[in-house]
Amino acid sequence: MNIFHEILVNQLAVEGRFISDEGELKKFVIIDAAFNMDRTLIGLLLTKKELKQKFFTQIAGHWVFDINLFVRYMENKNFLKDSYTRYRNKIGLTINGKFAKQSNEVALVWPFKDCILEGGQTEEDQKRPEIFFNEILAQEEIDQLTEPKVLVNWERYTTDGTQKVTDIKRGKNGIIKENLIIKGNNLLGLHSLLPQFENQVKLIYIDPPYNTGNDAFKYNDSFNHSTWLTFMKNRLEVARRLLRNDGVIFVQISDYEIGYLNVLLDEVFGRENFVNKISIKTKSPSGFKTVNLGVFETAEYILFYGKNKTRFKYNPQFVEKKYDTNYSLQIDNMSKDYKEWTYSSIKEYVASENGYTNAKEASKQIGKNNFIEKVGDFALKNSNKVFRFTEIGNDAGKDTIEKKRSSIANKGVVFKAEREGKDDRFILNGKEISFYKKKVKEIDGKIVPTTILTNIWTDIAWEGIAKEGGISLKKGKKPEKLLKRLIDMATKKGDIVLDFFGGSGTTGAVAHKMNRQYILIEQMNYIKDLPEARLKKVIGIKTKKADKLHEKIEFDISGVSKALNWKGGGSFIYTELKQYNQTFINQIEKAETENELIAIWEEMKIHSFLNYNVDIKKHDENIEEFKTLEIKTQKNHLIKLLNKNQLYVNLSSIDDEDFKVSDENKKLTNDFYEIKEEETVTQTKTDL
């Protein structure tokens, strides 16, 4: 029994009604008492600090009893082995702490939903057994797992190259003002960000393993379905806490999990905070064989939610469009007063400018498409006077409707309707003169005709992205242009952007070029060769001549660099969650022979944290039998022996000699979490 259970059992046993003649707790009587808000029961729970913290929530200075949680706890078969079934049907299907019967929501329910899954991996192609911690029964274990971690191997990169980190810069509001690349499991990474970044992040983009079994990430791309959902739920819940109230999250996913992920996001973020489902064309069928099972799959999706949708302000986006031939007229004398305006066809004008007798002749001579292209070029260059007529709806402002009427009564005369905060409207013969300039905008540094962005994106090329950033990630790399659009939609300069499935670092690279602050988390050992190397290229390096650094910088010119007129510069900090038992897991994963595994086991006996029930002596006595197992099974077995709560070093253990945290790392970790040296010492003493 763990300590919490012991406290609960001992406290409830104080009340005679709650124990049987055999001295066992009467579970059903206690549950009845809970449903009846029994004063004695509530009094007992309130008088023990641990019980109060778990089963009560503080609201406006009052402690409110969480009856659902308490009943769930009592009913859990692992807690008390009482066979009483009266309440069985009431439990299990709870959503956000409410019984399903009482809730109107549609939600996903699956085994191990209320569990935490660590979900770690450092090498490609490796699988290892997962453990689920039950949120109710293993509170202590979960607290340890999700406690902020010690950070080590700090490096800062600038145009002068890699430097030692001596301080962590903060903004006026006290928030860390550094770009961060963090190596480690993202669940623990997110929890380590919470103390500093809760309610601070403006945009989260994630591109998790799609769970199709096809990705390079053999391990967590082939979770079984419910395990994948637990993995995502655990991470999304912390991610939500990191977002600002006006912050947003974009989650990219394929056909395979989209339906489930949509419901999960509804549950975590609230259905009312759903903004869009964006469909993106990621490939075209040309050159592919026909598929027998259904139509060719080309779409991926981005699910877009706000933390609080009503607080989010969208920056409207536009996409390039071909010339719209409806814009076929021009005002001949723009510089005159509008009342004197006359108009004519631009096709005829362009034809005569090019020496043809009329448009029909021009089209015949140079081909229809070429001629339209010329007309389009003219329209673009003269968009302030090129126009089309559009209908005026009955919902237009009062002045517009009045002028519309007058213009119908006075054919051939242009009227002007004024509008507050908007351009004036010009009206002729009951129709609006809509200028082409409203459609012309600058996109990626080019002046082009545009149309408003919809939720179907077909204009972002996937071909050629392998070269972006000068690094390659076999599967899963996303185009810089995609990230630029998302960041444009929801942020401004200086806002914090987070991607905790960092991959090749596309989000970081684009955020950097757009002067946003960013945080990337990635657990794979390739973090150094991919995102870190890529971000170094983005920042660039001063050129060297005769071994001296010159001011001229060489920087990444791929991806969106040109569109953003990127010139290099800035910095980032790289750091890692300090591993402990995880280092043994890494060694086990890498090992190729039985002898290597046995040598690791010898080390583990002395230096690792083994599960409490591992009997070293018995294990050694049976080592010959261990040797008969397949190497894969041997590996899984050794990993199973390790205590997964000790994969990384907890902040509260920073001063523990066993973990050998250097003074430099202690200082920087404490700076990161804003802990004064004295506080750590006091805390450690009390802990002891």
Ligand X SMILES: C[S@@+](CC[C@H](N)C(=O)[O-])C[C@H]1O[C@@H](n2cnc3c(N)ncnc32)[C@H](O)[C@@H]1O
Question: In 3D, which of 595, 594, 600, 598 has the Cα closest to residue 581?
Answer: 600
**Least separation, in Å, of the C-beta of 470 and ligand X?**
13
Terminal alpha carbon distance of the chain: 22
Report in angstroms the alpha-carbon separations of 184 from 218, 222, 590, 597.
Answer: 18, 20, 17, 24
Q: What is the DSSP letter of 149?
A: B
Report if residue 504 touches ligand X, rule: CB under 6 A.
yes
Nearest CB to ligand X, comparing residues 207 and 556: 207
Nearest CB to ligand X, comparing residues 120 and 568: 120
Report if residue 668 touches ligand X, rule: CB under 6 A.
no
Q: At what angle do helices 225-242 and 255-269 cross, to 10 degrees?
A: 40
Nearest CB to ligand X, comparing residues 75 and 130: 130
**Least separation, in Å, of the C-beta of 467 and ligand X?**
13
Query: Which of 230, 383, 491, 506 is in the footprint of ligand X by CB under 6 A?
Result: 506
Nearest CB to ligand X, comparing residues 217 and 349: 217
Please identify, among the stretches 11-19, 45-53, 471-479, 675-683, the one whose residues bind ligand X according to the rule CB under 6 A. Answer: 471-479
Binding-site size for ligand X (CB under 6 A) equals 20
Report if residue 230 touches ligand X, rule: CB under 6 A.
no
Q: Minimal CB distance to ligand X: which residue? A: 503
Please identify, among the stretches 50-58, 499-507, 640-648, 651-659, the one whose residues bind ligand X according to the rule CB under 6 A. Answer: 499-507
Nearest CB to ligand X, comparing residues 278 and 521: 521
Nearest CB to ligand X, comparing residues 306 and 479: 479
Residue with tokens 């996903």: 108
Query: Which of 300, 522, 532, 671 is in the footprint of ligand X by CB under 6 A?
Result: 522
Report if residue 183 touches ligand X, rule: CB under 6 A.
no
Dihedral sign, CA of 9, 13, 19, 23? positive
Please identify, among the stretches 8-16, 143-151, 238-246, 517-525, the one whose residues bind ligand X according to the rule CB under 6 A. Answer: 517-525
Cα 9 to Cα 390: distance, rounded to the nearest angstrom? 76
Query: Which of 473, 490, 604, 641 is in the footprint of ligand X by CB under 6 A?
Result: 473
Query: Which of 159, 165, 200, 209 is in the footprint of ligand X by CB under 6 A?
Result: 209
**Least separation, in Å, of the C-beta of 192 and ligand X?**
12
Cα 49 to Cα 620: distance, rounded to the nearest angstrom? 43
Binding residues for ligand X restricted to 80-139, rule: CB under 6 A: 119-120
Phi/psi region, residue 460 (left: phi>0; alpha: psi -120 to 50; beta: rest), is: beta
Cα 130 to Cα 119: distance, rounded to the nearest angstrom? 7
Question: In 3D, which of 560, 573, 587 has the Cα closest to residue 481?
Answer: 560
The full DSSP string for 188-225 is: HHHHHHHHHHTTTEEEEEE----SSS-SS-TTTTS--H
Phi/psi region, residue 231 (left: phi>0; alpha: psi -120 to 50; beta: rest), is: alpha
Nearest CB to ligand X, comparing residues 211 and 383: 211
Report if residue 250 touches ligand X, rule: CB under 6 A.
no
SS3 label, residue 560 = coil
CB atoms within 10 A of CB 614: 16
462, 479 Cβ separation under 8 angstroms? yes
Report if residue 217 touches ligand X, rule: CB under 6 A.
yes
| Residue 568 C-beta-side C-alpha neighbours within 13 Å | 19
Nearest CB to ligand X, comparing residues 575 and 670: 575
Report if residue 220 touches ligand X, rule: CB under 6 A.
yes
| Residue 70 C-beta-side C-alpha neighbours within 13 Å | 28
Question: In 3D, which of 350, 345, 341 has the Cα closest to residue 328?
Answer: 345
Report if residue 478 touches ligand X, rule: CB under 6 A.
yes
**Least separation, in Å, of the C-beta of 290 and ligand X?**
27
**Least separation, in Å, of the C-beta of 150 and ligand X?**
17
Binding mask 548-587 for ligand X (x = CB under 6 A): ----------------------------------------
Report if residue 476 touches ligand X, rule: CB under 6 A.
yes
Q: What is the contact surface with ligand X in residues (CB under 6 A)?
A: 119-120, 185-186, 207, 209, 217, 220, 473, 476-478, 501, 503-504, 506, 521-524
